[in-house]
Structures are given as C-alpha cells and as structure tokens.
C-alpha cells in the first residue's frame, strides 16, 4: 500500500481540504501493515472506497433575524459510510464550518463508531451559522429552516444526527420539533434529545465522562490513577464540563479551562459550585471563561493556551488543531504523563509525534471521545424499545464500552516493548470491522 500515492490522488481530487487530508493520512499511515497483511482489502479497493463519502450534500438555509432581515447560510450533511449501521454523527454550527472540516469529522466518525461496537455508520453535518449572539427566536428559525432540507435525507434507520460544537439541547429541540411537523412522526431521528421527549440520561455528560473513563484505563496500565493528579482541560463546552466533573470525582484537580481567546488557571481546582456557575452562564448563552476569572479572582491568560501549565494529565476538549508541536513539548517538559483527546483531532501531527516519541500515554479522540456517540447509540436503543434506562444503567454501559475500546486499542496498538500506540490501535480496530463489512456487502 503506497500511502504517498494514495494521498497525492486524494489531494488532487480534494484540493484545499487540509483537515480532511490530515485525518486520512493519519489513518492510512497506521493501517499500512494490516492492509498489506490482508490482500483482500487491496483487491477490493477498500482504501479508495473508504476515503470517498457515500454522498455529501450542501443546501441553502435562509432565515430571518428579529428585524426581519433575511440571511443565507450553507447547510451540509456528509453521509460517509454505512457499512455497519445507519449513518450517525453530529451537527456543528460554527462560522468555521466548511466541507473539509465536515469531511474530516465524518471520516473520523466511521472508525469511532466502529470502535464503540454498536451498529452505527459514519456521518457529520452542520452549517457555518453562528448561534453566538443570536436570540432564541433567531436560533429557532435557523434550526427550523435547516431541518426543512435535512429531513429529506435522515430517518431513524437511515441517518441519525446529534449535537457537536454550537449544537446542544436547545438546537436539537428546535430541529426535532420541525422534523416532527414535517414527517408526522415521533421517532429517534436525532440524539441528544431532551429527557422529556426521548432523550437519554447521562447523554449530556457522556463524552466528557467517557473521556475520563478512557484516561483512567490508560493510567491503570502504568499503575496510576486520577487521584491527586493535576489536570489541564481546554474549552468549556459539552465535552469539557463533563470531563471536569468526572476528573474531579475521581480525585483529580482540574486547574484550567479555556475559550478561543485565552485560558484561566485556578490553582484551587475547578469543581462543584464553580462548574455549576459556568453551566448557568452557558445556559443563558453567555461567555464563561472571563466571567469565571472575575467571579473567583483568578488570572485570565489572554491569547494563551492551557498547555503551558504544569499538569499530570491534559484533556484537550475544545476543537481541532488546538495543541501543536510546541505545546506538546511544553507538556512533556512539565512532566505530563497522559494526554487524552476529548475533542476531535485537537493535536496536530507534530504534537502527536512528540507524545509518541516521549512514550506519553496518548489517546486520539476517535477512541477517547467515543463515549458521546456510544451513549447516542444507547439513546437510539431506548427509543426503539420505547423505554428509559436509569442513569446508573446508562453510565455503567458507557463505562463498559470505554473499557472495551481501550482493550481494542491495546490489542492492536501494543508494540514489542509494551508501549501502546493508541493512535495505531484505534485506527486498526476501527478499520478492520468496517473494511470486513464492506467486503461482505460487495461494492
Ligand atoms: P461546544 O461548542 O459545547 O464547546 C466548545 C468549547 O471550546 C467552548 O467552550 C468554546 O468556547 C471552546 N473553544 C472553541 N474554539 C476554541 C479554541 N480555538 N481554543 C480554545 N477553546 C475554544 O462543543 P463540544 O464540547 O460539543 O465539542 C468540543 C469538541 O469535542 C469538538 O471537537 C467536537 O467535535 C468534539 N466532540 C463532541 C462531542 C459531543 O458529544 N458534544 C462528541 C465527540 C466529540 P466558546 O464557547 O467561548 O466559543
């Protein structure tokens, strides 16, 4: 398998899609040995087939603001691969959204969903709409308009979107409301739903909880745990707050959270009421990080990232490429032993190289943040069965799934010296299931 040739062909076909090409290269480089050991994959052209989305839809989303002015955004849904189950993956509303970012996320989602062991294919979607600074009614009108188009290609057995950056319970609610009007059906077509109308307990915190469960498993391989450890977290969104809560519950001290314009360092730990305070701010659509620094009298480091802080464990939970090679060197120099990605592809390839060279416990998002989609899968099961599991039941299934993903990564990622390359392990484990399913299904 010639990765450079494959990448050259892909670059020609997808010019300028930097994030997508970055994500594909990472996967291809780690599955070379497996593909070469299994000639049936090359014979069936599995690689060329897996890097091409089944379909990529873009559509116009026109909406009126509170003054009656009409705006146009672009909506997307990338249905990447449904070899092992209905398409599944979040919707992102953020001004940076473009085809490349959604294709990278959709591609990653194929392997992540495969790792969960649940029957879910890979997809992603969203819009360059920015919910920040919009009124509730504006967000509602946008979501309704978005769903007017999206509903044509989704369905509980076809494609089940969820939330992502900029899409939380409120947005899912407005989109689900419109889906119901358009289809006359109350089905599990979206996950991340409110508890009163088909949602699952533990879904809001599942990605963060799952991320910490995964880190806990990695730490165990070195006889370590969260107890007494200093934890640096980036972002303070859906993923970060769950991670902060669980890391604290397990005895860690979370000292940072961040936004796009800087981070705060709280040496006393960010926990309990402090987290509740920020969740209230988030719920009312307000900035979180700066107000925290005023409320609790801690420093706000403008324009900086939290990776310069001394910590034992780093959980990047904000966005792609938010931790580069220089950040990685600082973390290693400061004695960080474990980096567990809560966000999708937050570490650049240079950063990953630094972690692997220094034998840091490093887990890629596709394994370490799979708890969110796994719990979405559990929400789909509950919707199909028309019943609700208790929080304990969902949490214990989530915990079990994260332990199993960790085991799969160890199985395929452990080298002869005992070091686990979780990037390789996750990519191989995720790939094998999907590739074998594609072989079984014909082309
Ligand atoms: P949210 O929008 O809820 O949170 C994102 C957070 O990151 C916000 O606090 C945001 O600050 C902050 N942020 C954005 N850009 C930057 C930046 N450049 N530097 C530092 N902070 C930044 O999104 P989610 O928590 O849902 O998603 C975060 C990541 O996790 C994404 O990569 C997503 O794809 C991934 N993910 C999410 C899942 C989920 O269940 N939600 C599941 C699996 C992965 P501000 O609000 O001020 O902009």
pTM: 0.95
User: What's the sign of the alpha-carbon dihedral 295, 298, 300, 304?
Assistant: negative
| pLDDT at residue 286, as a whole number | 83
**Which domain-ending residue is among 120, 155, 186?**
186
Residue 120 belongs to what domain range?
3-186
Note whether 13 and 98 are same-domain residues. yes
- In this structure, the residue with its CA closest to atom 27 of ligand 1 is 165
Question: In angstroms, rounded to a whole number, what is the distance separating the alpha carbons of residues 314 and 365?
Answer: 13
Residue-wise burial string across 263-289, b where 16 or more C-beta atoms lie within 10 A, e elsewhere: bbbbeebbbeebbebbeebbeeeeebb
Bridge partners for 231 per DSSP:
254, 313
Centre of ligand 1 to C-alpha 293, Å, is 20
Centre of ligand 1 to C-alpha 343, Å, is 7
Asked if residue 438 belongs to a domain, the reply is no
- In this structure, the residue with its CA closest to atom 19 of ligand 1 is 260
Note whether 123 and 260 are same-domain residues. no
Residue 62 binned pLDDT confidence (cut-offs 50, 70, 90): very high
CATH code of the domain covering residue 321: 3.40.50.720
Note whether 182 and 212 are same-domain residues. no
Residues with CB under 6 A from ligand 1: 163-166, 207, 234-240, 258-260, 317-319, 322, 342-344, 369, 372
* Substitution site in 22, 319, 365 for ligand 1 pocket (most atoms within 8 Å of beta carbon): 319
Question: In angstroms, rounded to a whole number, what is the distance separating the alpha carbons of residues 135 and 144?
Answer: 14
Mean pLDDT for all residues in the chain: 97
Query: Is 58 in a helix, a strand, or coil?
Result: strand
Note whether 222 and 141 are same-domain residues. no
Note whether 15 and 161 are same-domain residues. yes
Note whether 210 and 182 are same-domain residues. no
Bridge partners for 258 per DSSP:
263
Asked if residue 129 belongs to a domain, the reply is yes
Q: What is the mean pLDDT of residues 344-360?
A: 97
* Substitution site in 235, 284, 323 for ligand 1 pocket (most atoms within 8 Å of beta carbon): 235
| pLDDT at residue 283, as a whole number | 84
Q: For the chain, what percent of residues have pLDDT higher than 70?
A: 100
- In this structure, the residue with its CA closest to atom 5 of ligand 1 is 237
Query: Is 219 in a helix, a strand, or coil?
Result: helix
- In this structure, the residue with its CA closest to atom 37 of ligand 1 is 164
Residue-wise burial string across 300-312, b where 16 or more C-beta atoms lie within 10 A, e elsewhere: bbeeebbbbbebb
Centre of ligand 1 to C-alpha 320, Å, is 9
Determine the atom of ligand 1 nearest the C-alpha atom of 236: 9
Note whether 28 and 95 are same-domain residues. yes
* Substitution site in 112, 170, 237 for ligand 1 pocket (most atoms within 8 Å of beta carbon): 237
Residue 149 binned pLDDT confidence (cut-offs 50, 70, 90): very high
Asked if residue 286 belongs to a domain, the reply is yes
CA torsion angle 13 14 20 26 (round to 10):
30
The alpha carbon of 137 is separated from its chain's Cα centroid by a whole number of angstroms, namely 28
User: What's the sign of the alpha-carbon dihedral 246, 248, 252, 257?
Assistant: positive
Q: For the chain, what percent of residues have pLDDT higher than 90?
A: 98
Domain count, the chain: 2
Centre of ligand 1 to C-alpha 170, Å, is 16
**Which domain-ending residue is among 324, 348, 363?**
363
Is pLDDT at 313 greater than 90 in this prediction? yes
- In this structure, the residue with its CA closest to atom 40 of ligand 1 is 372
| pLDDT at residue 48, as a whole number | 97
Residue 358 binned pLDDT confidence (cut-offs 50, 70, 90): very high
Asked if residue 378 belongs to a domain, the reply is no
Note whether 29 and 65 are same-domain residues. yes
Note whether 343 and 295 are same-domain residues. yes
Note whether 146 and 251 are same-domain residues. no
**Which domain-ending residue is among 186, 219, 234?**
186
Centre of ligand 1 to C-alpha 238, Å, is 7
Asked if residue 413 belongs to a domain, the reply is no
The catalytic site residues sit at: 124
| pLDDT at residue 235, as a whole number | 95
Question: In angstroms, rounded to a whole number, what is the distance separating the alpha carbons of residues 254 and 313?
Answer: 9
Asked if residue 241 belongs to a domain, the reply is yes
pLDDT tens track for 380-428: 999 999 999 999 999 999 999 999 999 999 999 999 999 999 999 999 9
Question: In angstroms, rounded to a whole number, what is the distance separating the alpha carbons of residues 435 and 332?
Answer: 36
Centre of ligand 1 to C-alpha 56, Å, is 23
- In this structure, the residue with its CA closest to atom 47 of ligand 1 is 259
Note whether 259 and 134 are same-domain residues. no
Note whether 168 and 232 are same-domain residues. no
CATH code of the domain covering residue 169: 3.40.50.10860
Asked if residue 194 belongs to a domain, the reply is no
Asked if residue 411 belongs to a domain, the reply is no
Q: Which of 213, 308, 311 is nearest to 269 (CA)?
A: 311
pLDDT tens track for 180-224: 999 999 999 999 999 999 999 999 999 999 999 999 999 999 999
Higher pLDDT, 258 or 284: 258
Q: What is the mean pLDDT of residues 7-17?
A: 97
| pLDDT at residue 403, as a whole number | 98
């Amino acid at each position: 398998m010639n990765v450079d040739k494959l990448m050259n062909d892909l670059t020609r076909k997808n010019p300028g899609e930097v994030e997508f090409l970055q994500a594909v290269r990472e996967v291809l480089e780690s599955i070379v040995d497996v593909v070469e050991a299994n000639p049936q994959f090359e014979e069936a052209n599995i690689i060329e087939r897996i890097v091409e989305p089944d379909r990529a839809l873009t559509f116009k989303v026109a909406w009126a603001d509170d003054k009656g002015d009409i705006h146009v955004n672009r909506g997307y849904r990338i249905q990447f691969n449904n070899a092992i189950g209905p398409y599944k993956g979040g919707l992102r509303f953020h001004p940076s959204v473009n085809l490349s970012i959604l294709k990278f996320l959709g591609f990653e989602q194929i392997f992540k969903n495969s790792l969960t062991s649940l029957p879910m294919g890979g997809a992603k979607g969203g819009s360059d709409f920015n919910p920040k600074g919009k009124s509730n009614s504006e967000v509602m009108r946008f979501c309704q308009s978005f769903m007017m188009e999206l509903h044509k290609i989704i369905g509980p057995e076809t494609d089940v979107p969820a939330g992502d950056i900029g899409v939380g319970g409120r947005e899912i609610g407005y989109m689900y409301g419109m889906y119901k009007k358009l289809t006359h059906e109350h089905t599990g077509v979206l996950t991340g739903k409110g508890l009163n109308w088909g949602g699952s307990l533990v879904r809001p915190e599942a990605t963060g909880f799952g991320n910490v469960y995964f880190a806990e498993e990695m730490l165990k391989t070195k006889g370590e745990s969260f107890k007494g450890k200093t934890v640096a977290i980036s972002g303070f969104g859906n993923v970060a707050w769950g991670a902060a809560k669980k890391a604290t519950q397990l005895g860690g001290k979370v000292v940072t959270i961040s936004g796009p314009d800087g981070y705060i360092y709280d040496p006393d730990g960010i926990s309990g009421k402090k987290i509740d305070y920020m969740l209230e701010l988030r719920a009312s659509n307000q900035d979180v990080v700066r107000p925290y620094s005023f409320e609790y009298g801690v420093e706000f480091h403008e324009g900086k990232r939290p990776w310069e802080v001394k910590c034992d464990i780093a959980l990047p939970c904000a966005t792609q490429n938010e931790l580069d090679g220089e950040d990685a060197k600082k973390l290693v120099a400061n004695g960080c032993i474990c980096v567990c990605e809560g966000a999708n592809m937050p570490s650049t390839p240079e950063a990953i190289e630094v972690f692997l060279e220094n034998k840091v416990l490093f887990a890629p998002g596709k394994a370490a943040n799979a708890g969110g989609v796994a719990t979405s899968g559990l929400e789909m099961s509950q919707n199909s069965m028309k019943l609700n599991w208790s929080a304990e039941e969902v949490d214990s299934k989530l915990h079990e799934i994260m332990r199993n993903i960790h085991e799969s990564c160890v199985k395929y990622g452990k080298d002869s010296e005992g070091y686990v390359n979780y990037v390789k392990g996750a990519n191989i484990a995720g790939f094998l299931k999907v590739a074998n399913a594609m072989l079984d299904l014909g082309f």
